[in-house]
Amino acid sequence: MSQEEFVSFYNNFLPAPPKRENVLTGLPPVNGTDLVDWTGTLTTPVKDQAQCGSCWAFSATEQFESDIMRVTGTTLVLSPQQIVSCSKVNAGCNGGNTETAYSYVKRFGGQELESDYPYTSQRGVSGSCSSDAKKAAATMTGYTTVDGEVSGVEWSGVEWSGVEWSGVEWSAN
């Protein structure tokens, strides 16, 4: 690896801007009394990324899990490790982007359960990819990004929480 490649990879990773599939703009703010706290209702237990800069993969995974619960009523605990190790557009423990994580899951054909692909990057090492499309517990057909500077919390309903799946297909192994 050249000095330039080393610096590019290890210093201040900024992923390339993702190709945005669906962008929703111009949503009006809602009255604060219309907000709902979905904690514990449409969320899985808290996960710990430890010393790995993989918040982007955890965020994408939790959104996918929550949308599966909202659409199907089924709780699946999916694997952020799969995204950390296998989404090559991102830099694993050195950072990434939630939209490219969604694109990876869509392109790969789904996301495995955490029990099948456990988290191993606690010490900051991304690990090598060992995903198996046959073990995908949930697949997605697309997503919509809410564009703008405003937090998703200020938009009405769970469908404006930051990402809305235009379709969710799932299967239990």
For 69-94, the pLDDT digits (tens) are: 888 888 999 999 999 999 999 999 99
pTM of the predicted structure, to 2 decimals = 0.73
Which residues, 6 or more positions from 79, have their beta carbon under 8 angstroms from its beta carbon? Answer: 61, 111, 112, 113, 114, 116, 117, 118, 119
DSSP 45: P
The model's confidence at residue 173, banded by pLDDT at 50, 70 and 90, is very low
Q: What is the pLDDT of residue 31?
A: 64
H-run or E-run covering 115: none
Domains identified in the chain and CATH numbers: 39-148 (3.90.70.10)
Q: What is the pLDDT of residue 92?
A: 94
Tell me the one-letter amino acid at 165.
W
Residue of 138 and 34 predicted with greater confidence: 138
Which residues, 6 or more positions from 33, have their beta carbon under 8 angstroms from its beta carbon? Answer: none
